[in-house]
Structure 1
Amino acid sequence: MAAILDTVGEQFDVQSLAEGMKQSLPKYAMPMFIRLINNNKGLDMTGTLKFQKFRLRDDGFNVENIEDTVFIYSTATESYSKMDLEKYKEVLKGNYRF
């Protein structure tokens, strides 16, 4: 999973990001999930100005518990699509093909 802080506030083009990653990353290194974090919420930081990643890890890609947008990668189409509750349940059941 990759987490991206949306500082622009405009429409995020996940497909152009995917194209760039496909050119520079091997297939096994492509993140299966991308979490787009709302700029208003931000990320908590430690006293030494490091991001508190444990909160992101604990939330995972559960679309029921987070307000952020999550994208899921399909190896069949080699593109990302917005994750919804139906896709989330398919992943948990093991029916979604990566």
Structure 2
Amino acid sequence: MSQDRTPLPPSCQNEAAEPCSSCAALPGAGCDALREQAAPEESGSHVEQQIRARIDRVKRQKADRRQQRAELNEARRFGLEARHATKMRRWAEEDDE
């Protein structure tokens, strides 16, 4: 190997001449993983930007609904336990009478 090669990207340490298995590019030519980590491009038509905004909004709404369902399920579980405990206490009091 020649010493004048450019340094490899941090995530692509393939020293061989064959394509890198993780980025399918020749060593030192750049790695797809690095491109994915780069900031998303803001270029594109206004329609693409609106679509991305709508997708992000829907993802946030789904996450909010998932969180709300989790909170309601926790409250429901606590309420069921409390009602069951009250019922058992009432039955115990009725048996004592």
**TM-score interval w.r.t. the shorter chain?**
under 0.3
Higher relative contact order (CA 8 A, sep 6+): 1
User: Which structure has the bigger radius of gyration?
Assistant: 2
Q: What TM-score, normalized by structure 2, do the two folds share? A: 0.20
